């Protein structure tokens, strides 16, 4: 089966890469994709969830196949040296979303142009703010599930530098971790740095809390549990003579099991309270803890995943391998739960061809990450074949075999006070 691309696809990819946009700011990106998909015969609706859009092709009664791709980029200064490097200061496509979008458009165009397109409906979901963990929720809140027919299956794919170009990988069952984002905000009157004894210091509080939070896994949670706790950012604006009056920490938690998730969140709350007291700050007054977002874990229907892997190996000149779950996350899980349909999510190798599986550099979310040139054609072919098979009913099997994930189960994340794998990495 061909790995060729539509003639316009490389130019679209480079155009998207040159002009990345952050979450909920993806106006140009959404506009480009809307134009391409409209040209290919899709009915496009823009503005769902802010900058999100959906594109539907209706060919009459038959399966409904949904595919999700992401619009947003990351706040990084690109250092790839590519001829088509980002022209936007401090923003780059370091997670391959530009490639995902191009593969989605190219695969859809090839499918529509084919002579044997089955009846059914194709629903393309172009989601904002995946990197923020809130884009899918925003689209749901803005009426996504009412705007499109209910899918029989949801497909998603992602690049990974931890597999070589020409190799696909995926996980049956739980594939990606749940993610929770919390924010800790500490305030104090400020003060002169020449008088460090004259009041509480939010920066000192933030430094102590950061060190302690990174010991939760391995000290407060058994090291063999699959979990990660990180402080990806601290903001404390000040000048040389001023003790910062405010420090804001972002806390990110990754887990697979709900009991572990609850234990970690509870322990984070305990540590914030203890560090507040040690720093001379009052919890609930000087220090606030909010739970901003919750992204459920990604779960692949094992039967659907196995059928897809066999299909890829049979139809394409690529391998589709099984890998362990990853502590990365993706809010495509929110869509799968809200639609209540089986889903399958796989990775497209973007490293040097011929290599093995495992951690390599540059990886996703780094300022020198750039997928190998062969990645786009493989991703396009893999998605095209998955969409065609889903339309033909070859992935989901008889209706009584289909798994139905549970409800959203708090996927919006309450904004209120709260208390050894080597799989492919994604962003979130």
Give the 3-state secondary structure of residue 155: strand
**Cβ atoms of residues 155 and 257 within 8 Å:** no
Handedness of CA 49, 65, 17, 170 (dihedral sign): positive
Residue-wise pLDDT for 271-322, tens only, equals: 999 999 999 999 999 999 999 999 999 999 999 999 999 999 999 989 999 9
Handedness of CA 375, 381, 386, 391 (dihedral sign): positive
| Spatial distance between the Cα atoms of 159 and 151, rounded to a whole number of angstroms | 24
**Cβ atoms of residues 107 and 387 within 8 Å:** yes
Q: Where are the domains of the chain?
A: 9-176+297-401, 178-295
Residue 250 region, left (φ>0) first, then alpha (ψ -120 to 50), else beta? beta
Tokens 């089986």 found at? 342
Give the 3-state secondary structure of residue 9: helix
- pLDDT score for 397: 66
Residues near 388 by beta carbon (within 8 Å), at least 6 away in sequence: 111, 114, 117, 118
Total residue length of the chain: 428
Of 66, 63, 92, the closest CA to residue 79 belongs to 92
Residue 119 region, left (φ>0) first, then alpha (ψ -120 to 50), else beta? beta
The angle that helices 375-391 and 302-315 make with each other, rounded to 10 degrees, is: 120
- pLDDT score for 2: 61
Based on the number of CB atoms within 10 Å of its own CB, is 343 exposed (0-12), middle (13-18) or buried (19 or more)?
buried
- pLDDT score for 189: 95
- pLDDT score for 115: 85
CATH topology of domain 178-295: Alpha-Beta Plaits (3.30.70)
Residue 191 region, left (φ>0) first, then alpha (ψ -120 to 50), else beta? left
Q: Which CATH superfamily is domain 9-176+297-401 in?
A: Zn peptidases (3.40.630.10)
pLDDT tens across the length of the chain (428 residues): 568 999 999 999 999 999 999 999 999 999 999 999 999 999 999 999 999 999 999 999 999 999 999 999 999 999 999 999 999 999 999 999 999 999 999 999 999 998 888 899 999 999 999 999 999 999 999 999 999 999 999 999 999 999 999 999 999 999 999 999 999 999 999 999 999 999 999 999 999 999 999 999 999 999 889 999 999 999 999 999 999 999 999 999 999 999 999 999 999 999 999 999 999 999 999 999 999 999 999 999 999 999 999 999 999 989 999 999 999 999 999 999 999 999 999 999 999 998 889 877 899 999 999 999 999 999 999 999 999 999 999 999 654 444 444 333 333 333 333 333 333 443 34
- pLDDT score for 223: 85
């Amino acid at each position: 089966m061909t790995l060729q691309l539509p003639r316009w696809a490389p130019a679209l990819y480079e155009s998207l890469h040159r002009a990345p946009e952050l979450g909920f700011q993806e106006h140009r990106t959404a506009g480009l994709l809307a134009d391409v998909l409209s040209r290919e015969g899709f009915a496009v609706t823009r503005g769902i969830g802010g900058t999100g859009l959906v594109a539907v092709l209706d060919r009459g009664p038959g399966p409904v196949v949904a595919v999700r791709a992401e619009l947003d980029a990351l706040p990084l200064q690109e250092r790839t040296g590519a001829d088509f490097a980002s022209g936007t200061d401090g923003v780059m496509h370091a997670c391959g979303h530009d490639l995902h979008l191009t593969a989605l458009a190219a695969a859809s165009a090839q499918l529509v142009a084919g002579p044997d397109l089955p009846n059914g409906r194709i629903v393309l979901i172009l989601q904002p703010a995946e990197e923020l963990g809130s884009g899918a929720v925003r689209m749901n809140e803005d009426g996504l599930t009412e705007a499109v027919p209910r899918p029989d299956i949801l497909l998603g794919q992602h690049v990974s530098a931890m597999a070589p170009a020409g190799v696909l990988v995926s996980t049956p069952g739980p594939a990606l971790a749940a993610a929770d984002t919390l924010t800790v905000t500490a305030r104090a009157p400020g003060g002169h740095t020449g008088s460090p004894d004259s009041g509480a210091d939010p920066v000192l509080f933030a430094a102590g809390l950061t060190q302690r939070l990174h010991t939760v896994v391995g000290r407060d949670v058994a090291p063999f549990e699959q979990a990660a706790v990180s402080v990806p950012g601290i903001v404390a604006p000040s000048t040389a003579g001023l003790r910062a009056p405010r420090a804001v920490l972002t806390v990110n938690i990754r887990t697979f099991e709900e009991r572990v998730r609850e234990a970690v969140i509870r322990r984070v709350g305990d540590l914030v309270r203890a560090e507040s007291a040690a720093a001379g700050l009052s919890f609930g007054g000087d220090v606030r803890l909010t739970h901003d977002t919750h992204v459920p874990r990604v779960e692949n229907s094992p039967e659907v995943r196995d059928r897809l892997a066999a299909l890829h190996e049979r139809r394409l000149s690529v391998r589709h391998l099984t890998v362990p779950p990853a502590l990365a996350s993706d809010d495509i899980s929110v869509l799968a739960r809200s639609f209540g349909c089986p889903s399958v999510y796989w990775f497209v190798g973007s490293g040097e061809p011929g290599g093995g599986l495992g951690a390599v550099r540059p990886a996703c979310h780094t300022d020198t990450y750039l997928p190998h040139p062969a990645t786009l054609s493989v991703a396009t072919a893999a998605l095209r074949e998955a969409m065609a098979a889903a339309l033909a009913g070859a992935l989901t099997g008889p209706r009584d075999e289909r798994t139905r994930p549970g409800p959203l189960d708090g996927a919006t994340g309450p904004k209120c006070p709260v208390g050894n794998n080597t799989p492919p990495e994604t962003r979130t």
